[in-house]
Amino acid sequence: MFNIDPRIRGIPAGRDQVVALFQSINAPNLAVPGKQAGPAQAFVVGVRGQGGLAVFVYLYLAESQDCAVYAPRKRNLTPEAYRTEEAEAMAFVESMGFMMDNMNYPGLSADDKDQMIKTLPVFQKDPKLVQAPRGKAAGGKLSPAAALGRLFASF
């Protein structure tokens, strides 16, 4: 089971420490305890530490530039226990309405891994450091082109 750890604001992992990365392809509205409700993006991250493997669930709340990190009780898992914990993490985020996509992190090039570590909110020290997503203008408002695109997509 996973519990929110308010002390964690990002997963400080190096390129070679990440063993798995899953990202949501949707952004359902969530009401996370102690946070402003709104659309969220989920990440499930497998990390190799000194003592073993661990799985974290990271929810990014873009509108409030906040996050909720669900940390595991055990952070020194064997590969077998890790697979079980990863399956539980996936079931946990899917129960909240997320549809997850395997980013195939181990199969990426070193440059692509570095780019993910530098840009994805899950790896930032603070979610406020995340740059506005494409289509958003300064201040978090939609750019005119993005607004027009959303309008046409609604038909």
Q: In terms of pTM, does the model score above 0.85?
A: no
Where in the sequence is the domain holding 21, given as residue range(s)?
2-153
* pLDDT of 25 strictly over 80: yes
What token pair was written down for 64?
């409030």
CA–centroid distance for 4 within its chain: 14
What b/e readout covers 78-101, taking b as 16+ CB neighbours within 10 angstroms? eeeebeebbeebbebbeeeebebe
Cα(105)–Cα(117) distance, integer angstroms: 11
pLDDT at 139: 41
End-to-end CA distance of the chain: 41
pLDDT > 90 fraction of the chain, expressed in percent and rounded? 61
pLDDT at 12: 86
> How many domains is the chain partitioned into structurally?
1
Average pLDDT, the chain: 85
